[in-house]
Structure formats: C-alpha cells, structure tokens
Amino acid sequence: MLLSRHLGRWLARLTQPRQPESGCIRLNRRRIYILPTRAGFLYLATLFTMLLGAINYDLALGHALVFLLAGLGLVGMLHTHRNLLGIEITGSGAEPVTAGEFAHFQLLIHNPDQRPRTSCAWSDARQTLAPLEQHLPAQHQTLLLLPIPTQGRGWLTLPPLRLSSRYPLGLFEAWANPWPQGRCLVYPRPHFTPLPIEQQTGTTGNYQGREGQEDFAGLRERQPADSPRHIAWKAVARDMGSRPLLVKIFSGGARPELWLDWEAAQGDLEQRLSQLTAWVMDAEAAGLEYGLRLPDRHWPPARGAAHQQRCLEALALYSL
C-alpha cells in the first residue's frame, strides 16, 4: 500500500548510516528492518475477516484454519528476515567513465552461512534505480557490478544502498541500508571536433615531427651526445681499430607531436573541458604524442594509457 511504501522510505532515510563505512559491513539484526507488503496487508485483512466469521458462527475448524494461516505468515516473516541476516558486504571503486555513462561499482558479497540467500534485490536507498536481483549460494562470495548513473564530472561517491528481500512468500519485505566506501572518477562528456593540428610552430595546437626512427639511411661518425643503442656494432667489428665508432642514421616514420592547448578550445569552462577531453581521446587513438596545456599547469608530450589517464584526470578535476 501507499502507506507502507512511504513508511518504508521514511524508515530507510532514518536508519541509513550518516557516512560511508570502510571495510566489511555485516548485516546484523539491528540493521535489518521489516514491514508487510501490500499482499501482506491484504493477507492480514483476510485473516481478520475469517476470524470474525469463525467467531460469529462458532466454527472450530474456522479458528484452526485462521491460526494455521497466521502461523504460516509468521514463519514466512522469520524466513524473510533471515534471508538477509549475516550477509557481508565490501565495497570498492569503479573504473573511470565519462559523464552520462553508468559507473559500475564493485561490491563483494559474501554469504557465510550454510543456507543460500534467494531473491535479494539491490538498489539505491532512494529507490530511484531498478532493483537488481541476486542469488547468493551457501558459503560463497560473489562480485556484483552495481550500475550508478553519472551526470557531472569529478569524483562520484557510491550512494547509500538498499538491499531488500521478499522471500519466500512475498507477505513481508525486509531491507537494510549499507553504505560501503567507493568512488569513481567521471571524465567530462567529450565533444568531438577535429584535432587542432597545425603545421606552424609556436602556435597553440601545433603539430611537429621528431627524427625518424624507422628507415635506415646510412652511417656517420659517433658524436658524444649519441646514444650507445645506435652504434653500428657490426661495422665496428669489421673495421676494428681502422676507423672511429659509427652510428646508424634513420629517416622517415616521424612520430607526430601535438599540443592540446586551453586557448585552442572554444566556449565556456565545461565546453572547453569537453573539447579537450575529446582531443585527448582522439590523439591517443591515433597514436600521436600529445601534450596538454591548462591555465595553471601543463603536461609534456607523451602517449600511452598512463599519460591519457593523467590528462583526463586533470580535466575531470579542473577547478573543482
């Protein structure tokens, strides 16, 4: 009923933790709450009507049936409560996502008892997400990925959760409000525009090339600044002592280098961050070496997953 739903939400807000809990969270009796469902209230009303009829007509079998059904309901209430009792929950973070995507937080659920837990539903404490049902085998650990929607950039903290169950009869609903620790980094929503590749040097978004490292172009005498890795050891072995050390010269295959500058982006703060986020993703996908310039600091050109993560994290947390 509507009254039961509002009462359950009010109790959930009243009993949920005030801050995230670190480590393993164990659901004891003091953390589990239970109320009749709509079917439970109808069941109670039906039993009350049957009891009035049995009293009015003095039916002994009617009394027995009412008490039998009432006992069945009480046993069902006990099993509903026990279906959540003792469950252990450990939370962790989620992989970074872009704004607008779902952050999949990892929850390690452990059932230490000899009995399985059936029809356990996960949602947020405000019940804005569709419940995610889970079955927990006996003495088993399960990794649950809980999808949480994202909106803005920055750090997203795992909200208070709601674990509920109506097993086995559906007459009662038991729930608990664990709040494990966990957070996820949300990148700005990318706004894809062409990369600011320019052939001019000294301008924002400039695009340069380094010395080629692919095609062999010849030999020359070694200079003090040359790397030992480029020494032509086979040529040195052939002419040992008759000529100075030689190094290999390469040409072609120039590795591009790109600067992604705050001044090259357009729009307000969030629009520029979205544009720079898209440029970082495109430059990494193209295999370019790229650097990032923000008003307060910069990152020198590089490439790779670690460099991309540093740049995207700086954009996600900029001015926050």
Residue 230 pLDDT level (bands cut at 50, 70, 90) = low
Q: How many CA atoms lie within 13 A of 132 on its CB side?
A: 14
228 or 157: which carries more pLDDT confidence?
Answer: 157
Mean pLDDT of 75-85: 95
Domain end: 180, 195, 229, which one?
180
**How high is the pLDDT of residue 250?**
59
Looking at the structure, do residues 159 and 254 belong to the same domain, yes or no?
Answer: no
Looking at the structure, do residues 28 and 122 belong to the same domain, yes or no?
Answer: yes
Looking at the structure, do residues 149 and 38 belong to the same domain, yes or no?
Answer: yes
Whether 247 contacts 225, CB under 8 Å = no
Of 7-11, 84-88, 95-99, 252-256, the least confident: 252-256
Instruction: Give tens-digit pLDDT for 196-210.
Output: 865 333 444 444 444
**Residue 209, C-beta contacts closer than 8 angstroms, at least 6 positions apart:** 254, 255, 256, 257
Q: For all residues of the chain together, what is the average pLDDT? A: 83
Give a yes or no: residue 199 inside a domain: no
Give a yes or no: residue 278 inside a domain: yes
Looking at the structure, do residues 102 and 219 belong to the same domain, yes or no?
Answer: no
Q: Which residues pair with 172 in a beta bridge?
A: 36
Whether 150 contacts 101, CB under 8 Å = yes
Looking at the structure, do residues 249 and 131 belong to the same domain, yes or no?
Answer: no
Give a yes or no: residue 154 inside a domain: yes
Say which residue the tokens 């990318």 belong to: 190
Looking at the structure, do residues 229 and 293 belong to the same domain, yes or no?
Answer: yes
| Domain limits for position 121 | 1-180
Give a yes or no: residue 171 inside a domain: yes
Looking at the structure, do residues 79 and 146 belong to the same domain, yes or no?
Answer: yes
Q: How far is CA 195 from CA 96, 264, 277, 285, 315, in A?
A: 23, 10, 11, 12, 17
> What is the crossing angle of helices 38-57 and 60-82, to 10°?
160
Looking at the structure, do residues 163 and 215 belong to the same domain, yes or no?
Answer: no
Task: Dig out the tokens for 131 from the structure.
Answer: 């419940």
Q: Is the pTM of this model over 0.75?
A: no
CB atoms within 10 A of CB 316: 21
Domain end: 145, 180, 215, which one?
180
Looking at the structure, do residues 282 and 217 belong to the same domain, yes or no?
Answer: yes
pLDDT of residue 243 exceeding 80: no
84 or 285: which carries more pLDDT confidence?
Answer: 84
Looking at the structure, do residues 159 and 236 belong to the same domain, yes or no?
Answer: no
Looking at the structure, do residues 110 and 247 belong to the same domain, yes or no?
Answer: no
Give a yes or no: residue 309 inside a domain: yes
Q: How far is CA 13 from CA 23, 102, 174, in A?
A: 22, 24, 15
Looking at the structure, do residues 161 and 275 belong to the same domain, yes or no?
Answer: no
Distance of alpha carbon 67 from alpha carbon 30, whole angstroms? 29
pLDDT of residue 211 exceeding 60: no
Give a yes or no: residue 306 inside a domain: yes
- State percent of the chain over pLDDT 70: 77
Give a yes or no: residue 136 inside a domain: yes
233 or 130: which carries more pLDDT confidence?
Answer: 130
- State percent of the chain over pLDDT 90: 59
Please give the helix or strand (H or E) that residue 219 lies within, else none: strand 215-221
CB atoms within 10 A of CB 281: 17
Q: Looking at the 3D structure of the chain, how many domains does it have?
A: 2
Instruction: Give tens-digit pLDDT for 27-50.
Output: 999 999 999 999 999 999 999 999
Domain end: 180, 198, 225, which one?
180
Mean pLDDT of 151-157: 93
Give a yes or no: residue 186 inside a domain: no
pLDDT of residue 303 exceeding 80: yes
